[in-house]
Amino acid sequence: MKYTQLFISVIVLVIFLFVGYKVVKHQPEDALNIKVAIIDSDKVISESLALQNIQQQIKEQSSGLQQEFESELEKFKPSKEEFELLSEEAKKERTEQFDKHALSARDSYAKKMLYLEKSYRDAVDSIFNKIKEVAKETAEKNNIDLVLFISKKNQVLYSMDEADLDKVDLSDAVLKNINKEIPEFALKDVN
């Protein structure tokens, strides 16, 4: 049974290879003559001024929200001395009030953080759309038919030395243009 399946698999593979060879062989000569370029996605992401700017804004706003949340909790938290002077009934009531305010502050903080995350995603989407637009313009200027956004560390390029790789790598050109067009990006404020 195993040998039969293996035999059938080998026959199917041979047929596919033969058909594939015939298809490629009968292509017009210029059908496989396309100019391809690459863009190192890691480089564009890490060196984009707009993305760096957004990350800085996110860091600042998230830190501000954290401080705001902590100060809200401190407002309603009774001092230790004050709390010890209260009766058991008053302690219970004060604890319930604090829990209620803490829950409200936490909900407000969570909503603002969700809004901040959405703003971040929207901003990154806008920048990536701009990167695609700039890549398209750069490709058109250089008569390139296909641009691949890939990480250089995961690239598999055959028969190319470092000099040839620089000819097909548009990362620097795209990065230069994107940094010129959008050096900063204003993130929506949470408050």
Q: Tens digit of pLDDT for each residue in 11-43?
A: 655 565 555 544 444 455 555 567 788 788 888
Question: What is the four-CA torsion angle of 12, 18, 19, 24, rounded to 10 degrees?
Answer: 140
Residue 186 counted as domain residue = no
Residue 121 counted as domain residue = yes
Give strand pairing partners of 40.
Answer: 150
Question: Into how many domains does the chain fold?
Answer: 1
> What pLDDT is stored for residue 87 in this prediction?
81
Q: Tens digit of pLDDT for each residue in 86-138?
A: 788 888 888 888 889 989 999 999 999 999 999 999 998 898 888 888 888 88
Whether the Cβ atoms of residue 170 and residue 132 lie closer than 8 Å to each other: no
> What pLDDT is stored for residue 23 in this prediction?
46
User: Domain containing 79: what range?
Assistant: 28-181
The SS3 assignment for 150 reads strand
Instruction: Name the residue with higher pLDDT: 173 or 126.
Output: 126
State how far the Cα of 50 lies from the Cα of 124, in Å rounded to an integer.
9
Residue type (1 letter), 72: E
Residue 5 counted as domain residue = no
Residue 190 counted as domain residue = no
Please give the DSSP secondary-structure letter assigned to residue 191.
Answer: -
Residue 15 counted as domain residue = no
How many CB atoms neighbour CB 51 within 10 A? 21
Residue 187 counted as domain residue = no
The SS3 assignment for 46 reads helix
State how far the Cα of 52 lies from the Cα of 68, in Å rounded to an integer.
24
> What pLDDT is stored for residue 62 in this prediction?
93
Residue 115 counted as domain residue = yes
Mean pLDDT of the region 137-152: 82
- In the chain, what are the helix, strand and coil shares in percent, each to the nearest 5? 75, 5, 20
Q: Tens digit of pLDDT for each residue in 68-97?
A: 999 988 887 777 777 777 788 888 888 888
Residue 64 counted as domain residue = yes
Instruction: Name the residue with higher pLDDT: 78 or 168.
Output: 78
How many CB atoms neighbour CB 183 within 10 A? 12
